[in-house]
Amino acid sequence: MFVCVSTECLPDMPLAAAMERLSELEFTAVELDVHEHGGHLKPAQVAANPEAAIAECSDLQRLRPVAVSFAAAETPEVYDHFSACCRLAKSLGVVTMVVESSELGTPFNGEIERLRKLVAIASGLGVVVAVKTSAGRMTQDAETTASLCRNVPGLGVALDPSHFIYDHKKIASWEPILKYVCHVHLRDTKPDAFQVRVGQGDVEYGKLVAQLERVGYKRALCAHMPPMEGVDQVAELRKMRLLLESLL
């Protein structure tokens, strides 16, 4: 396992400046956000001008890109945009594409069909799709997420423990999906607050690392912490890096 950081942690900086700051914080691996809303890169822009997207990612300040987070509206162009982002990932040597599941209420078979399309596109380019665990979406509970993985060969999971803690009276289990995990998003969380300062929440980082070690997980532990009002983001990111490195 190794420590990684998402560019979503510094949303108000241009990509180059964010990379420089993350490098100064001594991170060595990075997840790039390619999101329709609020992303440093936009899916439509990557599809329209892939060379420009690759050029924008050419100076990553010695940070190794290990994942691309993809988020786009379900339009007829979404698969073309996803394919372009997979090609970007391949050009950067990235294996993992993180995607969202559909919202709750989506027919299960329809979601399976959608995820199979994404996996087919990605696998053709040597990339793995990791569907994110997320409240309010079909991956909000571990059993449904595991069922999706069983029905979509090659699908992995991006585990975000915060969604199993926030708004729960007791921490929900993510045991059923551990064997499918190929990426991890981390911040600190309490039942009544989705994100709190590092060390003030209920995420048991040591226990999580032990669970992942048990299933042979060797990939990223990614700091995924949007800025909080009145909190020094640089200090929080440094604290998270040191905490995670102390466990490895």
Give tens-digit pLDDT for 98-143: 999 999 999 999 999 999 999 999 999 999 999 999 999 999 999 9
Amino acid 156: pLDDT: 98
Pair 78, 92: CB distance under 8 Å: no
Residue 148 one-letter amino acid = L
| Residue 234, pLDDT above cutoff 80 | yes
**Alpha-carbon span 34 to 180, nearest angstrom:** 23
Q: If you average pLDDT over residues 209-213, what whole number do you get?
A: 97
- φ/ψ of 26, rounded to 5, equals 70, 25
> What is the band of 231 on the pLDDT scale with cuts at 50, 70, 90?
very high
Alpha carbons 93 and 50: distance in angstroms, whole number: 15
Our count of domains for the chain comes to 1
Domain that holds residue 14: 2-247
Question: Over the Cα atoms of the chain, what is R_g?
Answer: 17
pLDDT given at position 57: 86
For residue 195, which amino acid is it?
Q
Cα–Cα dist 182/39, whole Å: 22
Q: Is the pLDDT of residue 60 over 90?
A: no
**Region of residue 73 (left: phi > 0; alpha: psi -120 to 50; beta: else):** beta
For residue 61, pLDDT over 80 is answered with no
What's the rounded Cα separation, in Å, for the pair 133 and 162?
Answer: 9
Q: What is the mean pLDDT of the chain?
A: 94
> How much is the pLDDT for 33?
95
Q: How far is CA 226 from CA 10, 30, 65, 67, 194, in A?
A: 7, 15, 19, 17, 11
State the Cα–Cα distance between residues 236 and 226, nearest whole angstrom. Answer: 10
- The answer to whether the beta carbons of residues 67 and 97 sit under 8 Å apart is yes
77 neighbors 85 (Cβ within 8 angstroms): no
Q: What CA–CA distance (Å, rounded) separates 174 from 48?
A: 38
The pLDDT of residue 73: 84
User: pLDDT at position 158, please?
Assistant: 98
- The predicted model scores a pTM of 0.94
At residue 38, what is the residue type? G
CATH number (domain holding residue 104): 3.20.20.150
164 vs 181: CA distance, rounded Å: 15
Residue identified by tokens 């609020």 is 38
Has residue 171 got a pLDDT over 90?
no
Q: What are the helix (H) ranges across the chain?
A: 15-24, 43-48, 50-56, 78-91, 108-123, 142-151, 205-214, 233-247
Q: Which residues pair with 64 in a beta bridge?
A: 29
What's the DSSP call for residue 180?
Answer: G
Provide the 8-state DSSP code for 176: G
Instruction: Give residue 21's pLDDT.
Output: 94
